[in-house]
Every structure is written in structure tokens, then in C-alpha cells.
Chains A and B, each alone.
Chain A
């Protein structure tokens, strides 16, 4: 495991749901909820949808825009069908003005 910089807080532009890409990885979705940050993979485990671009945040749940499946962004747990496979959720660390996540 390594701590990898994902983005600067400024990159989020105050949006609660943002797609972030870094070299060598599939895109991530960054959620800002009540001043806390959460990060999951961005591509839904069910279809090929981008959760950040096409989803909608409802509390701690992200609803996918394609088929209305849902995940808990804190744990990645799939909580509404048709999603049944969890989405990967990453431990987040804020250092200075940047967001870091634990990557393998």
C-alpha cells in the first residue's frame, strides 16, 4: 500500500461529486459530504457508467444514473439492485490542501 496524491482540494471546485483521473489508474469518484471526503472507483460495478458524471449523491449513497443501483460511498457496499458487487472504496487522508488515498 502506498499513499498517493489524488488531487488538490481546489480541484473539486466546491462540487460534492467529482471525477478525478491520475496516471496509471482507472478514474476515481471523489465525494464531499458534510465536510468529509470519500473516494471510490468511478466506474459502476454493474454497467459502464461514471458515477461522478452520471450519478447523484443522496446522503452517503451514490445512485448510478444508468440503472439506479446504489453504493455506500463510505464502505463501497452495494445497497440497491441491480448493483450487487461492491465498489472499491479507498481510505482517504487530507494533507495540507490535497487529498491522498491508499493504493496498492
Chain B
């Protein structure tokens, strides 16, 4: 087995192959020089210096050898020779495969078309995807440093929280009318925006940056589309991720919003599978879809392993996303678009759950410091049974009994 990509999906796939008793050879290609690591801390504890590189390893250093997994660090795979069943590395080495798993994940999306926003800014321009990216932020995390975040998604908001807690200044510019709109309905975004404002983050919604100019001193002037201008020291572009489908293209595998796979992670090319962020997969509930979240990377990687070993149980997970900002743990289950929103608990106390209902059934939930609601909500979403809005909102009723 050859697995390309040593993020959570790739490592979870390798681990599950061994767990399920696969005894053959496993080679895991990692294009980074460091042992595979967990990415969520890169915008939080690791950037803040609370966690070390050792703390965020996906597996202990010796684990790969113990599990007889050949880990090829700092080895980028350049192309797939699907005819011959081999991958070719940038350094020219060829590795044959019986089965190939593409777990190449995603890359930070670039923001094009803004004059002045580019390489000329050098180290002052950031994206957050790798440990090296996070190291560069950590290096400038001095009190008083002024950060601009382009994009109010999960990475931008988490890192904004991290930098203001380190005594830096943060401004978030978000083109949409709410932060984290992909994750939250408007009322939750408004709640979270208020928390950020209370912690000193400035948030500009419904506008974009239109021009960037660097002064000889290094200071950066940023003009916004609404005419505002501000001066900052560092710019973090956090406008989402794009699936890394380059290798899939070299194999001539079908690519749509990601590498197209069926419910069993099989691509359009024989003996090649894909999993995690990079894969657009067939979900029994949601149809063709592509997810970018931690739990999915883990579970889809494990699913690919089981499919490789002939177990074709359907992948019918409910999407689950978390974010930790300040003293808030926020989790979202399922979907919220097109739903009616029922609040359980007191938003002003910072502990509540918003249930997302459509067609009389629960489609999703957003859980803010209220983890006791998670398991019951997951059950209700899976069951798809009729639910009563009034009962969900009634704190006197035990949510586990609904």
C-alpha cells in the first residue's frame, strides 16, 4: 500500500490498516520535513507557544517503525504512473504500488487581484496550513504587533483570538455579512463577533481589502473597498482552502470539487483511492459532497483502509466541526442552511445550543460550551424523527429523553 499525504487522513488510514490486521507493506509519503502532526493547534495552542512540536505529533516518533510503516519524510510525490502502478517522487525515485491512497489534503487558498498583496511583502504575508506557517506567526507574536486577517473563517477567527490574547492587535476583514458563515447561522456568528469585539478584535464585515502598500519602514497600509484605511505589521490571508488535486490529475483521475470517489473511496482509476479533504465523495444522506474537517479526515482515512481490505460498509457520518476561541468550545453537527433555529439556553451567558430544524426534523446543531447536548443532538439528527421546537427549547426537559 502506498499512501500519499501524511496529514490526519493519511496517518489514520495507515493506522487503521494495521489495526484491521493488514500485514503487507505500507509506505506513507510526507512532503514536509517534520514527523506528521495535527493541524488544529497551528492557529491556537501551537501558535501561542502553549504546545510544542512534540505535543502536536499525530503519533509518537517510534510508532511508525513499531507499526512497520515506512515514513518517507520530506519526499514530495510528483506524479502517478497509473499504467505501471507506481508513484514517482520529485527526486526521481519510483515506488510501485498495489493500491494507492491519495490523502493529499488541501492548501491555503491564495487571494488574487489585490494590488500590492503578494510576494513583495515577504515574511509579513501569511497563510496558515503548515507548522512552518505557524512558526512564522509565532515569531512575530510580540505585544503591540498589528495583525490584519483577510477572511473571517475558522482559521482567521481562531488566530485572531490567539494573537489578541498574546497582546497583539487584530483586525478581521470579512467579505460576507457575518463571520464564519459556512459554519454558523447568523445568530451564532453575531454572538461570536460580540465576544471578539469584547476581547479587542476589530471586525469589518461586508467589505474587502482593495490595495496594499508597504512603507520603507516595513509598515503596511491597507485600503478597504469602503474607503477605510489602516496600518498593520502583518497580513494573514485566511480565505479558505483548495483541495490539492495535482497528483490526481497526473493519474487522470476524475476531479470535480475534489477527486471524485464513490462511497468506498474509489477514484475513477483502478487501484487508486482518495480520502479526506481532497475527496469529493458519495454520502448516503448528503449526496456528492466534499468536507474539510478534522473528524472527517480521521474517519474517511479509516474508511479508506477498511474499503481496501474489502469491508464496504457505507460512510454515513454526520459532519462535526469544532472550534476553540477564548474560553469557548463551539461544535457544529450536521447542517444549518435553510433551517429554522431554536435556541436552548441563554446566549448572554455564553452557554447554549442552537438546533437547526427543517421538515420537522433536526438537521444540525451548534453547541456553545454546552457539550452535554452533543450526543443527544447527534442521535436526533441521525434518527430524523419529528421533533418539537418548544420541547427542545425547554431547559426543564432532559434533552437526553427527547
Bound Cα distance A101, B329 (Å): 31
Q: Does A54 contact B (CB under 8 A)?
A: yes
Given known contacts A84-B57, A84-B58, A85-B55, A56 and B375 CB-to-CB distance under 8 angstroms? yes
Q: Does B385 contact A (CB under 8 A)?
A: no
The A-contacting residues of B in range 370-396, CB under 8 angstroms, are 371-372, 374-375
Q: Does A94 contact B (CB under 8 A)?
A: no
Flag if A54 contacts B40 (CB, 8 Å).
no
Identify the closest chain B residue to A63 (Cβ): B375
Chain A contact residues, majority secondary structure: loop
Contacts of B244 in A (CB 8 A): none
Flag if A47 contacts B294 (CB, 8 Å).
no
Bound Cα distance A54, B8 (Å): 25
Q: Does B322 contact A (CB under 8 A)?
A: yes
Identify the closest chain A residue to B55 (Cβ): A85
Contacts of B327 in A (CB 8 A): 48
Taking the closest CB of chain A, its distance from the CB of B296, in whole angstroms, is 13
Given known contacts A47-B324, A47-B329, A54 and B57 CB-to-CB distance under 8 angstroms? no
- Number of contact residues on A: which range applies? 10 to 19
Task: Select which of A65, A68, A82 is within 8 A of B38 by beta carbon.
Answer: A82
Task: Select which of A48, A56, A66 is within 8 A of B322 by beta carbon.
Answer: A66
Q: Does B298 contact A (CB under 8 A)?
A: yes
- Number of contact residues on B: which range applies? 20 to 34
Task: Select which of B38, B60, B295, B324 is within 8 A of A66 by beta carbon.
Answer: B324
Contacts of B55 in A (CB 8 A): 84-85
Q: Does A33 contact B (CB under 8 A)?
A: no
Q: Does A81 contact B (CB under 8 A)?
A: yes
Q: Does A12 contact B (CB under 8 A)?
A: no
Identify the closest chain B residue to A81 (Cβ): B298
Bound Cα distance A56, B322 (Å): 18
- Which of B40, B298, B324, B371 has the largest number of chain A CB atoms within 10 A? B371
Identify the closest chain B residue to A64 (Cβ): B371
Bound Cα distance A49, B329 (Å): 9
The A-contacting residues of B in range 295-344, CB under 8 angstroms, are 295, 298, 322, 324, 327, 329, 331
Contacts of B294 in A (CB 8 A): 67, 82
0/1 interface trace, chain A 33-62, chain B, CB 8 Å (1 if under): 000000000000001110000101000000
Which A residues contact B (CB, under 8 angstroms)?
47-49, 54, 56, 65-68, 81-82, 84-85
